């Protein structure tokens, strides 16, 4: 554990605030809510509710941050012991006091004023080490924030800490040599998924308002599904990859993980933007050899990113929507998969009742896509990690400067020794590796053309089979949360978005009939840079079905013995 110490006070509860309204009550520039007053609760508290409490003067930013620190102290290493947080930010309370002073003089300091954020610990921060969960990087101190982290701070957010993860973002088990095994917030005997496991568990448990994850092949969407969260894997190139410890630049992206669609819309709005840096990954075309964008104009031309994604919060968006259901990705209907299918079928019926057209669709050559192509992480991790580690001097922090140094250090869980050996072997001589070249040169066009054919509802003869679909829909994960130490059955569903570069959003479809109840997630895939449609339909379903339920193991602190004022991190 890192040597940051934070002393805690009793949680602040019983605060009055204005409720969160729909899209017609959201101001895109400030996020100011309109609604009736209600008591503020840290459990499931939203950005709009927190903003209203601050605006009413019933709560300071310092109070808000302290309340979330109290929850981390009470539940992350005690109680259910979720082990979802690697470190808290020792400057968080000072930053909160500064925001309080600036608010008194100037008002809100951005749309995310005092929004507490837990970052997956592969996002660089200038004020905390970035470990990627591996002991080899325990003291690795980047010289600046990741581009997307700087954007969050510019919007007024407070980085309250770093979330645990499956170390080096390798898999879905959700454990690391720095932070240990993350546990599922809904049932601590269950696993959290990965690799953004700590973000999933901590945001589900309301240890912060929102979190970030990174996704190479499902690492935002899998833990979001298992924790009843909204998780957005944006279109590749929309969010800069700068300052995110890489797994494979050709597939990596960061994105938000939140309890509500509207909070993800606000967080995504802050994270996007043109980055002129060399590590942004923001190519003008979806082409491995394309040049990086050279100006905000080129970025806007390519992405059509709105000033705020909150403009898409439309509670009536399911009326007239067209949803293509990819039955080939639903699983075999056996065991836990039967319950996953039952919950999603109920969600589809709700969508139909709200006026959506829900039809089955076939993705051309889907079996070929899933059998002939593969993730490029096996090829790119070795080179990409070295590029990242070599991007700043090690004279002050002594961090490893290459993949080889990390590999030889043994600073990782023993279960990953074979993974490092495999990546070491696979990541050499890439310019002559036929399989790697096939996946970066052939795969994009082949996959994107067939996904577009499904979205456009084009049949095998090339003729329209009906009206185009707004999104494709399928289960996020084929099983429920596994036992601790196991990985959920993701099937191949997690590959669609990274293989195509198209955006995907996972959200809770409902809760499984288990004891305790476990979330079931459904995923929607849209056309490139059409995050707005995903947000619109997800918000409408959220408002219609209210599918998320809070975990029962991390209630409001007033229901628990008051934690002793001891150091959070020794």
**Can you give the CATH number for the domain in which 247 is found?**
3.90.1300.10
List the domain range (segments joined by +) for residue 273.
Answer: 60-368+466-549
Residue 16 token pair: 């009055």
> Would residue 72 count as lying in a domain?
yes
User: What's the DSSP call for residue 142?
Assistant: -
Strands 504-511 and 519-525: antiparallel
Report which secondary-structure segment, H or E, holds 405: helix 403-409
Residue 232, φ and ψ in degrees, nearest 5: -115, 120
pLDDT at 39: 63
In 39-135, which residue ranges form alpha helices assigned H by DSSP? 47-56, 61-75, 92-106
Provide the pLDDT for residue 8: 31
For 175-194, write each residue's pLDDT tens digit.
999 999 999 999 999 999 99
* Residue 176 maps to a domain: yes
How confident is the model at residue 193, as a pLDDT?
Answer: 98
Main-chain phi, psi angles of 325, to 5 degrees? -95, 120
Tell me whether residue 414 is in a domain. no
Is 538 part of any domain?
yes
Count of other CB atoms within 10 angstroms of residue 335: 13
Q: Report which of 69, 81, 41 is spatially closest to residue 207, judged by C-alpha positions.
A: 69
Expressed in angstroms, the distance from the first to the final Cα of the chain is 7
CB 161 within 8 A of CB 86: yes
In a domain, 489, yes or no: yes
C-alpha Rg value of the chain to the nearest Å: 22
Number of domains in the chain: 1
- For position 512, what pLDDT does the model report? 98
Tell me: cis bond preceding 516? Omega within 30 of 0 counts.
yes
Pairing of strands 322-325, 471-475: parallel
pLDDT score recorded for residue 461: 85
Task: Please report whether residue 24 resides in a domain.
Answer: no
- Report if residue 513 sits inside a domain: yes
Residue 326: other Cβ atoms inside 10 A? 20
Mean pLDDT, 10 residues at a time, over the chain (570 residues)? Answer: 30 30 36 45 96 93 97 96 98 98 97 98 98 98 98 98 98 98 98 98 98 98 98 98 97 98 98 97 93 96 97 98 98 97 98 98 97 97 98 95 98 97 96 96 97 96 94 98 96 96 98 98 98 98 98 84 36
420's CB contacts (< 8 A; 6+ apart) are 406, 407, 412
Residue 207 near residue 85 (C-beta atoms within 8 A): yes
Residues 515, 187 contacting (CB under 8 angstroms): no
Distances (CA, A) of 49 to 8, 55, 64, 270, 466: 23, 10, 12, 18, 43
| The predicted structure's pLDDT at residue 460 | 85
Query: What torsion do the CA atoms of 190, 184, 477, 483 make, to the nearest 10 degrees?
Result: -10
What pLDDT was estimated at residue 40? 73
- Active-site positions read 120, 195, 219
Task: State the virtual CA torsion across 60, 41, 229, 238 in degrees, nearest 10.
Answer: -20
Rounded CA separation 404/358 (Å): 50
264-319 pLDDT per residue, tens: 999 999 999 999 999 999 999 999 889 999 999 999 999 999 999 999 999 999 99
In a domain, 42, yes or no: no
* Cα 403 from Cα 425, distance rounded (Å): 12
DSSP H or E stretch at residue 474: strand 471-475
Task: Show Cβ contacts of residue 242 under 8 Å, excluding neighbours closer than 6 positions.
Answer: 146, 147, 148, 275, 277, 279, 280, 281
Q: Angle, nearest 10°, between helix axes 92-106 and 61-75?
A: 160
Distance of CA 279 to the CA centre of its chain: 20
Task: Please state, as a whole number, how many other Cβ atoms lie within 10 Å of the Cβ of residue 436.
Answer: 20
């Amino acid at each position: 554990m890192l040597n940051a110490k934070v002393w805690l006070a009793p949680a602040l509860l019983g605060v009055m605030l204005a409720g969160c309204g729909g899209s017609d009550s959201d101001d895109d520039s400030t996020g100011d809510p309109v609604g009736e007053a209600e008591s503020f609760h840290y459990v499931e508290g939203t950005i709009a509710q927190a903003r209203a409490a601050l605006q009413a003067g019933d709560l300071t930013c310092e109070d808000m941050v302290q309340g979330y620190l109290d929850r981390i102290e009470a539940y992350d290493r005690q109680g259910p012991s979720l082990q979802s947080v690697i470190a808290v930010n020792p400057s968080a309370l000072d930053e909160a006091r500064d925001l309080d002073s600036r608010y008194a003089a100037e008002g809100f300091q951005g749309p995310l004023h005092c929004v507490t954020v837990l970052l997956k610990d592969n996002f660089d921060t200038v004020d905390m080490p970035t470990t990627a969960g591996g002991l080899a990087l325990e003291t690795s101190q980047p010289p600046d924030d990741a581009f997307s982290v700087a954007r969050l701070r510019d919007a007024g957010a407070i980085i309250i800490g770093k979330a645990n993860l499956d170390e080096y973002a390798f898999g879905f088990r959700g454990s690391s040599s720095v932070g240990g095994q993350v546990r599922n917030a809904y049932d601590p005997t269950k696993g959290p998924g990965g690799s953004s496991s700590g973000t999933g568990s901590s945001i589900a448990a309301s240890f912060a308002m929102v979190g970030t994850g990174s996704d190479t092949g499902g690492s935002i969407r899998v833990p979001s599904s298992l924790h009843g969260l909204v998780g957005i894997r944006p279109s590749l190139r929309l969010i800069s990859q700068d300052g995110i410890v890489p797994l494979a630049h050709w597939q990596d992206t960061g994105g938000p993980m939140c309890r509500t669609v509207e909070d993800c819309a606000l967080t995504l709005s802050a994270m996007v933007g043109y980055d002129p840096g060399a590590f942004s990954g923001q190519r003008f075309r979806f082409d491995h050899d394309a040049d990086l964008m050279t100006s905000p104009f080129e970025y806007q031309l390519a992405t059509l990113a709105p000033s705020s994604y909150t403009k898409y919060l439309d509670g009536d968006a399911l009326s007239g929507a067209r949803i293509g259901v990819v039955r080939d990705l639903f699983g075999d209907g056996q065991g836990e998969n039967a319950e996953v299918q039952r919950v999603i079928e109920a969600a589809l019926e709700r969508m139909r009742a709200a006026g959506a057209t829900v039809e089955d669709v076939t993705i051309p050559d889907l079996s070929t896509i899933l059998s002939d192509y593969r993730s490029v992480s096996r090829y790119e991790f070795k080179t990409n990690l070295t590029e990242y580690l070599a991007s700043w001097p090690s004279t002050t922090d002594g961090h490893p400067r290459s993949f080889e140094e990390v590999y030889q250090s043994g600073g990782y869980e023993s279960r990953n020794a074979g993974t490092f050996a495999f990546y070491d072997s696979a990541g050499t001589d890439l310019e002559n590796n036929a399989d790697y070249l096939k996946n970066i040169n052939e795969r994009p066009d082949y996959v994107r053309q067939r996904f577009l054919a499904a979205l456009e509802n084009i049949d095998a003869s090339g003729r329209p089979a009906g009206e185009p679909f707004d999104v494709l829909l399928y289960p996020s994960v084929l099983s429920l949360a596994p036992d601790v130490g196991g990985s959920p059955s993701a099937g191949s569903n997690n590959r669609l978005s990274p293989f195509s570069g198209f955006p995907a959003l996972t959200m809770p479809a409902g809760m499984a009939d288990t004891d305790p109840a476990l979330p079931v997630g459904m995923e929607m895939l849209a056309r490139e840079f059409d995050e707005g449609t995903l947000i619109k339909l997800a918000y409408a379903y959220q408002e219609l079905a209210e599918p998320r339920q809070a975990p029962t193991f991390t209630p409001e602190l007033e229901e628990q013995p008051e934690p002793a004022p001891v150091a959070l991190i020794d």
